[in-house]
Amino acid sequence: MQIKPILSRLPALEVTPFGPAGPEGEYRFFALRLPRPSWKNWRPGQFLMLRPAAFGLELPWARPFSICHTTARCLICFFQVCGRGTRRMAQLKHGDEVNVWGPLGNGFAVEPDSQTLLLAGGMGIVPFVGYVNAHPKPWNTSMLFGHREPLKCYPVDNIHEYIPLDSLRETTPGELDNFIFTLNERMRDCAEQNGLVLACGPLPFLQTVRNFARELKARTQILLENTMACGVGACLGCMTRTSDAWPTPEKRGGLVQACRQGPVFWADQVKL
């Protein structure tokens, strides 16, 4: 059951850079803090549509972001500068207005008594910050994190405080092979305990996870980072094809909206 989304207009509190600056002194990773919206609840894995007023007429569409974390007072979004929208967001100042629509979509499953393996690739680590903070029994949870940028660029401290986190940085093809081997071994161990695997990251990473899940018969959910313009199913820009395992027969082999039926899916129910 989805939580009814709310439109909020919130003043930015601060934008904090993460990690080392680039060669020209520019940062690419940021945490945006906003006042907490008037939500009763949210589930890790859900997302927001954000549109700063500074976008003006030049950038008409909002941008989707996984909810990183909330505190009693703040909503935290973590992002990487990768285009005009995120570059504009990195320049937000205290008090700048941001339109926030959410929480949207479905979140990750939580099974407190099951061994839970979190698999993150790059910015796919973001939704797991809120997940480990909210987990009733975090001692049953562990993470494998693959990344290309320096570890300091990511919010790892907010996760390692609660659960064991193993990270592998990819700088050469051999390191990628090592990560894939480790990924397989960790998923195999989890499957043998009938545990739960949760994954978020770029498409090639999720394709690898899905293939291993099928091979190892591991219960696995994946969070798809599809392109979205509206977040409510109107633009049809985030369509994903289902598999024969989709629960409703009329949708098997068809297309569903990642923003409404996802962004979290059981890995065997979608095609990548």
Among the listed residues 145, 156, 155, 201, the one whose alpha carbon sits nearest the alpha carbon of residue 33: 155
For the entire predicted model, the pTM comes to 0.95
Task: Give every strand in the sheet of 69-70, ordered side by side.
Answer: 14-18, 29-35, 74-80, 69-70
Mean pLDDT of 134-163: 95
Q: Find out if CATH 3.40.50.720 is the number for domain 6-104.
A: no
User: How confident is residue 39, by pLDDT bands cut at 50, 70 and 90?
Assistant: confident
pLDDT tens digits for range 50-93: 999 999 989 999 999 999 999 999 999 999 999 999 999 999 99
What distances in angstroms separate CA 84 from CA 37, 81, 87, 89, 269, one per listed residue? 26, 8, 5, 9, 34
The class of domain 116-225 in CATH terms is alpha beta
Could you tell me which residues are annotated as the binding site for [2Fe-2S] cluster?
Answer: 230, 235, 238, 259
Could you tell me which residues are annotated as the binding site for FAD?
Answer: 63-66, 85-86
pLDDT tens digits for range 21-35: 887 788 999 999 999
Sorted by where each begins, the domain ranges of the chain are: 6-104, 116-225
Could you tell me which residues are annotated as the binding site?
Answer: 63-66, 85-86, 230, 235, 238, 259
